[in-house]
Amino acid sequence: MGVSLQKWHGAGNDFLVDVREGHESPWTPAQAAAICNRTHGVGADGLLVATLGTPVEMFLYNSDGSTAEMSGNGIRCLVAAVRRATGAEWDQLTVKTLAGNREVSLKMTGDVGMSSVAMGAVELETPLPGSLGVANIGNPHVVVWDDPALSELELQDSALKFSNAVGGANVEFVTVNSRGELSVRAFERGAGWTQACGTGSCATVAVLNSLGLCDDTVIVNNPGGQLSVTLNGFEAVLSGPVQFVADVEWIGA
């Protein structure tokens, strides 16, 4: 199949975006995994399919071909890709996701922009032993303290244990720099270590805020860049950068 896509990233969290009309998508899980492969494919944390309409619909494949309900950075990249593909000039768009409709605002200067998404309510669940908390923001998360003494492989093993304990979840390793600033490393279900996780940043702020460890508005340092999370009660707004990387022509099996 031959497909034209765009590659974008939000704070290093990178996605391939297929903007199309109609609901007939050519993608299978195996094809999504193939194009996201960083050695034999183009390379990305996920593949986003944007179906044009009112509202625009988003479907997300993780890099292993599995599907996810929601991605905070992904939806921000998808909106930027839709505007670029259609030549539109709007600065706000409603997107239908498996987690519900989300409102996204976007300001672009050339190929670089800033965008915000109203992520909806963060639902706090019963913490797992050894964790700071468990949260759901359209997709599930487990938040734990980071430990610089542990290797990445040891942290990965820990993440898999926490994830498996709740039937599959993203796991965020957090350090509190101040009440207004956190540092987070995310091991994502279906993608592994990523440079940033938008839903994970929101979940982490909500968990720590409930424990009295951070403010309502927090800068979250991800390995690939800074994101901002603002809570209004349990409602979260995620803000951060988006950047166009390349146009891609994919001819795959």
Residues 85 and 163 in one domain: no
Residues 22-72 pLDDT 10s: 877 789 999 999 999 999 999 999 999 999 999 999 999 999 999 999 999
Write out the DSSP string of 157-177. Answer: HHHHHHHHHTTS-EEEEEEEE
CATH number of the domain within which 29 lies: 3.10.310.10
Residues 100 and 13 in one domain: yes
Q: Give the pair of three-digit tokens for residue 123.
A: 């639902």
Residues 68 and 96 in one domain: yes
Residues 188 and 209 in one domain: yes
Residue 252 has pLDDT above 90, yes or no: no
Residues 98 and 60 in one domain: yes
Residues 128-166 pLDDT 10s: 999 999 999 999 999 999 999 999 999 999 999 999 999
Residues 100-121 pLDDT 10s: 999 999 999 999 999 999 999 9
Q: Give the pair of three-digit tokens for residue 195.
A: 């440079």
**Which of these, 131, 159, 135, 158, lies nearest to 145 by C-alpha position?**
131
Residues 153 and 74 in one domain: no
Q: What's the pLDDT band for 253 if we cut at 50, 70, 90?
A: low
Domain containing 46 equals 2-114+241-251
Residues 25 and 43 in one domain: yes
Residues 26 and 96 in one domain: yes
Residues 176 and 145 in one domain: yes
The pLDDT value recorded for residue 26 is 80
Residues 91 and 140 in one domain: no
Strand boundaries in the chain, DSSP class E: 2-10, 13-21, 46-52, 56-62, 67-68, 92-97, 100-109, 112-121, 123-125, 133-136, 140-145, 170-178, 181-188, 192-194, 217-222, 225-232, 235-251
Residues 184 and 105 in one domain: no
| Global pTM exceeds 0.85 | yes
The pLDDT value recorded for residue 1 is 63
Q: What's the pLDDT band for 20 if we cut at 50, 70, 90?
A: very high
How many domains, in total, are found in the chain? Answer: 2
Residues 155 and 74 in one domain: no
